[in-house]
Structure 1
Amino acid sequence: MDSLGSPITTIRPNIIEFGIGTAGKLGKWAAEKGYHRTLVISDAFNASRIDALAIQGEVAVFGDVTPEPDISNLDRVLSAANATRAELIVGFGGGSAMDLAKLASVLAGSPQSLREVVGPNKVQGPRKVALAQVPTTSGTGSEAGIRALVTDPETMSKLAVESVHMLADIAVIDPALTFTVPPRTTAATGVDAMAHCVEAFTNRKAHPMIDIYAIEGTRLVGKYLARAVRDGADAEARAGLSLASLYGGFCLGPVNTAGGHALAYPLGTRWHVAHGAANALIFPHVLAFNTPSVPAKTKAVMEALGHPASDEAKSVFAAAYEFCAELGIEMKLSGLGVPESGLDQMANDAFAIRRLLDNNPRDLTRDDIRSIYGAAF
């Protein structure tokens, strides 16, 4: 872990526009590129404000993205993309909208099916359409990455696709678009952004090239998240969280997340807990569990969050739990409607997510996972 000479590959959108009031730059870019037919993929709320993007020409909108989208939601998006013959696809919303936009950009009109591209580097490229990403929350960092997730309703598991062909041509991050995000969602998505950074920072694949983004993203959340929860129109705080989310996205491609996200996924797939809320609840438990394996980095995380440096698991748990709870986040599984009878199956589900668990700095057995769920219940 953390070898300066270890090989690493970083890939980012060619153009990243960042700052208050930048949303309309997407329309200018698209016009300069000569795109006349655009499909915007969004949830119902953001579908009502696509004028902010200033896109010219024929603009079709798929405005029915669901939280934790499943295969059927993707199929409807693909139907819309095929029907519009879009030259440009725009993901406009949270991670769900942006992930579906990625998949639509490579699967619409393609002979490949979703099942054929699940896993790393299976998409046949190059893609035939342009892709733009415009986040409206500060959490997933999906605008900067090459992974997309969709739920298989039969197995209740996440299907993960990774491909350089899903990299956006342009990402436009306008913090003003996040002003309307409610306090609870702001809190949960902010902790999700932090979890991306912390899990990459403490990862078995951690690398100094990524650590700089990971620890700064953590510091930004520690400084600005509570402010944004208190006042959603705090422009500086919103910008700080948008940058933290982007930095978290930078972490995902070359390093990715680890045990925290593996344990959080079954909450979403089986019990429809929002991704950010699931990660926030799990975060203190896995951070404390990993502390003996990464004591120095855990100290750095605590300091970045504004808490005294510690490498003692109990105090790490207490501080991380307090950080999340003070934001108004529900920190008990029972409070999120998860039944105690479901914990065993959740432990089985999480233990099977080897692509993330194998990154964790400390081995998580199936019994360890079940114990964490029990403590979180």
Structure 2
Amino acid sequence: MSSMDRLITIHQPRRLEIGVGAAAKVGEAVRAVRPLVIASGPTAQYVDRLGLSGEVLVIDDVPPEPDLPALEAVLERARAFGPDLMVGLGGGSVLDIAKLVAVLWDGDQTLRDVVGPNKVAGRRVPLIQVATTAGTGSEAGIRALVTDPETKSKLAVESPHMIADLAVLDPELTYSVPPAVTAATGVDAMAHCVEAFTNIKSHDLIDGYARMGINLVGKYLKRAVEDGRDSEARAGMMLASYYGGICLGPVNTAAGHALSYPLGTRLSLPHGLANAIIFPHVLAFNQPVAPEKTQEVARALGLGQAGSVETLKEAAVGFCRDLGIEMRLSQHGAAEGDLGLFAEEAHAIRRLMDNNPRDMSVADVHGIYRDAF
């Protein structure tokens, strides 16, 4: 599948700061008069660590899975404030909203105008992304997603205008992330790498980032779950997440993320948890067409020989369960009668499903949901 001569484009933040205390680099990097910090309730506590000067406005009520009304509410306040610097301080949802606000607050375009690739007109203020979780890798990339409340589907925007001028990975900002969230977001970071690695659009260069990310998850995720103040493990997971974010740009995810989206929009499951539940099933489903790469993944995660599809699935489910993740959809509010609807919605997300190395029918998707139920 992988081919070195296929044309790809990689966008990365213009500057990356990683390590204990890196958050303080924000104030050193840009001197702003009116910085706008977009956060969530739990992440607003870190604003003082950024060393910002001037009149700072903090918007700290971005919900975990933001929809269009949530974005519009932030845009309204941003327009009233008139920032000269945009800072995202949080997990993937917050960082995605920061990207969108940075390119929409002072122009005539609406979110619906820019859905899809390369439709954003531009951006006039610097954008700094400070991650407080290790999962989405949103700080590394040029995509942002919000939920359409009418269709319960994800609206995806992709533009190089949304790349960060500075990305910050400070492991101290993840110390307070609970073990369950650490586990789920860590598996999400791994899923980004694995889905890009086994993707029909895979590329040798991206494979390198994916391998590094997968190996970091295998080495550090359990440690980060067991000891939230293990700065080496936290930094390792933030880097794994960042590598996953790079993988998303030119390659993107595949069936695993397509199947996770209805769980987020219909059941309100956090993105990381939804991906963690689905990950083992899609990894095993794709094994017959990507045996060598699947074996690499299994080895990095300590799953032993991949063996049969069923053996691999059981081992991968065990890996996630041992991290403390509840892997049964029935325990997360799913009703068995709704699985068919979820399957139809997931199968229709062709921008991701068409990347999968093995064709997946609606019946196949339904079967995975039943298996995870």
TM range (shorter): over 0.9
Q: Please state if 1:17 is matched with 2:17.
A: yes
Displacement after TM superposition at 1:344 (Å): 1.1
State the identity %. 59
Moved more, 1-10 or 279-288: 1-10
- 2:260 is matched with which residue: 264, 271, 279? 264
**2:193 counterpart residue number:** 197
**1:339 counterpart residue number:** 335
Q: 1 CA distance for matches of 2:336 and 2:81?
A: 46
User: Any idea what the Cα deviations from partners look like across 1:270-296, whole Å, max 9, x if unmatched?
Assistant: 110111110000000000000001000
* TM-score when normalising by structure 1: 0.98
Q: Please state if 1:162 is matched with 2:158.
A: yes
Q: 1 CA distance for matches of 2:260 and 2:251?
A: 18
**1:139 counterpart residue number:** 135
Look up the SS of the partner of 1:159 in the other structure. Answer: strand
Q: Which amino acid is the alignment partner of residue 2 of structure 1?
A: S
- Say if 1:218 and 1:244, in contact at 8 Å, map to a contact too: yes
Q: Which amino acid is the alignment partner of residue 49 of structure 1?
A: Y
Q: 2 CA distance for matches of 1:107 and 1:318?
A: 45
**2:295 counterpart residue number:** 299
Moved more, 149-158 or 338-347: 338-347
Q: Please state if 1:101 is matched with 2:92.
A: no
- Say if 1:298 and 1:311, in contact at 8 Å, map to a contact too: no
User: Any idea what the Cα deviations from partners look like across 1:6-45, whole Å, max 9, x if unmatched?
Assistant: 11111101101111111000011012xxx21110000011
Q: Which amino acid is the alignment partner of residue 123 of structure 1?
A: V
Q: Please state if 1:26 is matched with 2:23.
A: no
Q: Please state if 1:214 is matched with 2:228.
A: no
RMSD (Å), alpha carbons: 0.8
> How many matched pairs?
373
Q: Please state if 1:67 is matched with 2:64.
A: yes
Matches within 5 A, 1:323-338: 323-338=319-334
Q: 2 CA distance for matches of 1:192 and 1:283?
A: 8
**1:81 counterpart residue number:** 78
Structure 1 stretches of 4+ with a deviation exceeding 4 A read: none
Q: Please state if 1:186 is matched with 2:192.
A: no
Q: 2 CA distance for matches of 1:176 and 1:104?
A: 26
Q: Please state if 1:118 is matched with 2:115.
A: yes
Displacement after TM superposition at 1:66 (Å): 0.2
- Say if 1:223 and 1:306, in contact at 8 Å, map to a contact too: no
Look up the SS of the partner of 1:176 in the other structure. Answer: helix
Q: 1 CA distance for matches of 2:301 and 2:51?
A: 37
* TM-score when normalising by structure 2: 0.99
Q: 1 CA distance for matches of 2:106 and 2:11?
A: 25
Where do 5+ consecutive residues of structure 2 fail to align? none
